[in-house]
């Protein structure tokens, strides 16, 4: 394990070994379970620039999300996509490399929609910058987006620039009761098309109930909540209950210790089949039905990425088009980073 202290040492670390993989806090252990010299990113931490008036910050990749969230909160701002595992110590770079977004991604988009720029080390050990540092930029190829979900297989992220939003003055969480998956899905359909502009819309694990969050000016929320509860059966949660509910989801506390945790991108019309094929397993459906987090002691036939536990990194693998190999060769000609498919 190498532990570089700055970007130049990071570049040297990349050059020093024929096969390297960067790891952050290790909160998604399955992603880095692969033969390679590990580069520990935890010393490369800190916020380099944060200008609330610009809605942007730049931080080193090893910076814990918790530190970023605290700095943003002090200026009434936030990353609207609720990055997961923040309490477990997840880093900004690890979140980008894993491509993970939490329930809040429903309203304004996920990690891919808030990343603006990257500084990274390519396979030849060069420090390169792509993207930009302002909220709007269309210059050059959008490599920052490509790094989202890239698992360190195309370069080592050193520094990231993100867009942030003003934190709504207030938020409120409702829990809507549902007896079965059919009624949960009907609620997802109506609410995601509705006028309320909810921030988060999830089906809770070990239940068919819906958790939804609305946000905005404090005085508007009771009115919106009353209207929602006139359409759907449920109740408001207290602030404490709401905080616990979202935190438990964000930290995957509902996942049994012996189960593997998998991310399955889905569309609404696939969810019924997903639930049927995993009777007995716990599923948390998030982002209005666009992603399912599955906890299972086995694995799955659905295309998924395993974050932890005993399941292949990619389940149900299919042959990737030839372009993937060409991109890999272009960015990492010496194959210094592991291949995407183990």
Partner 1 sequence: MPAALQRLAQILPADRLLTSAAELAAYESDGLTAFRTRPLAIAVPETQEEVIALVRLCHELQLHFVARGSGTSLSGGSLPVVGGIVITLNRLNRILKLDPDQRLAIVEPGVINSQVTTAATPHDLHYAPDPSSQSICTIGGNVAFNSGGAHCLKYGMTSNHVLGIKAVLATGEVVQFGGESRESIGPDACGLFTGNEGLFGIALEITLQLLPRAESFHTVLAGYQTLEQAGDAVSAVIAAGLLPGAMEIMDALALNAAKAAVHAEYPPGCEAVLIVELEGPRESVAIEKQSLEAILTASRPVEMRPARDAKERLAIWKGRKSAFSAVGRLSPDFIVQDGVVPRRRLGEALRRIDSMSKEAGIRVANVFHAGDGNLHPLILFNGREEGALERAEDLAGRILKMCVEMGGSITGEHGIGVEKREFLADMFNQYEIDAMLRLRAAFDPHGIANPGKMFPGKEAPSLSHHGLHPLEKAGIISRE
Q: How far apart are the first and last CA of the chain?
A: 20
Angle 236-241-246 from CA coordinates, rounded to 5°: 100
Q: Is 192 in the site for partner 1 (CB under 8 A)?
A: yes
Q: Judged by CB under 8 A, which of 189, 251, 254, 312 binds partner 1?
A: 189
Rg (CA), the chain: 20
Q: Is 21 in the site for partner 1 (CB under 8 A)?
A: no
Residue 43 vs 181, nearer CB to partner 1: 181
Q: 292: burial class by Cβ within 10 Å (0-12, 13-18, 19+)?
A: buried
Q: Is 94 in the site for partner 1 (CB under 8 A)?
A: no
Q: Is 181 in the site for partner 1 (CB under 8 A)?
A: no
Q: Judged by CB under 8 A, which of 87, 167, 207, 236 binds partner 1?
A: 167
Residues 342, 339: Cα–Cα separation, whole Å: 6
Q: Is 265 in the site for partner 1 (CB under 8 A)?
A: yes
For residue 119, give the H/E element and its range: strand 115-121
Residue 1 vs 223, nearer CB to partner 1: 223
The whole-angstrom distance between residue 293's C-alpha and the CA centroid of its chain comes to 11
Q: Which one of the spans 82-90, 200-208, 261-269, 275-283 is the region binding partner 1 (CB under 8 A)?
A: 261-269
CB neighbours of 307 closer than 8 A, spacing ≥ 6?
A: 28, 29, 30, 31, 98, 100, 261, 262, 263
Q: Judged by CB under 8 A, which of 10, 21, 23, 304 binds partner 1?
A: 304
Q: Is 78 in the site for partner 1 (CB under 8 A)?
A: no
Q: How far is the CB of 328 from partner 1 (least distance, A)?
A: 9
Q: Is 285 in the site for partner 1 (CB under 8 A)?
A: no
- Show contacts with partner 1 in window 323-342 (CB under 8 A): 323-324, 326-327, 329-331, 340
| Angstrom distances, CA of residue 38 to CA of 4, 11, 16, 330 | 11, 13, 11, 22
Q: How far is the CB of 150 from partner 1 (least distance, A)?
A: 4
Residue 204 vs 224, nearer CB to partner 1: 224
- Show contacts with partner 1 in window 127-166 (CB under 8 A): 128-130, 132-143, 145-151, 153-154, 165-166
Q: What are phi and psi of 89, to 5 degrees?
A: 105, 10
């Amino acid at each position: 394990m190498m532990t570089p202290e700055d970007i130049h040492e990071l570049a040297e670390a990349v050059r020093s070994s024929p096969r390297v993989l960067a790891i952050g806090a290790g909160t998604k252990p399955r992603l880095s379970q692969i033969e390679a010299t590990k580069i520990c990113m935890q010393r490369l931490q800190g916020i380099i620039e944060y200008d609330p008036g610009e809605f942007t910050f730049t931080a080193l990749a090893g910076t814990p999300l918790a530190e970023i969230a605290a700095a943003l909160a002090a200026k009434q701002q936030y990353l609207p996509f609720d990055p997961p595992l923040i309490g477990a110590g997840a880093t900004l770079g690890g979140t980008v490399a894993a491509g993970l977004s939490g329930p809040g991604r429903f309203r304004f988009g996920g990690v891919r929609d808030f990343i603006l720029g990257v500084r990274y080390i390519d396979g030849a050990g060069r420090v390169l910058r792509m993207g930009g540092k302002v909220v709007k930029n269309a210059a050059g190829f959008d490599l920052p987006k490509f790094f989202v979900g890239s698992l360190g297989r195309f370069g080592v992220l050193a520094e990231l620039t993100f867009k942030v939003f003003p934190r709504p003055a207030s938020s409120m969480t409702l829990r809507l009761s549902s007896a079965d998956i059919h009624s949960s899905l009907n609620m997802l359909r109506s609410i995601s098309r509705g006028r309320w502009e909810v921030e988060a819309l999830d089906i809770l694990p070990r239940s068919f109930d819906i958790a939804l969050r609305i946000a905005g000016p404090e005085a508007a929320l009771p009115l919106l909540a009353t209207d929602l509860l006139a359409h759907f059966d449920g109740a408001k949660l207290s602030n404490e209950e709401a905080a616990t509910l979202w935190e438990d989801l964000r930290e995957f506390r509902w996942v049994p210790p012996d189960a593997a945790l998998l991310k399955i991108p889905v569309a609404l019309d696939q969810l019924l089949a997903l639930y049927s094929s995993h009777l007995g397993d716990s599923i948390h459906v998030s982002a209005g039905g666009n992603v399912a987090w599955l906890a299972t002691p086995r694995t799955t036939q659905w295309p998924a990425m395993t974050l932890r536990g005993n399941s292949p990194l990619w389940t149900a693998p299919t042959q990737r088009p030839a372009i993937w190999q060409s991109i890999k060769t272009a960015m990492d000609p010496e194959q210094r980073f592991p291949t995407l498919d183990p």
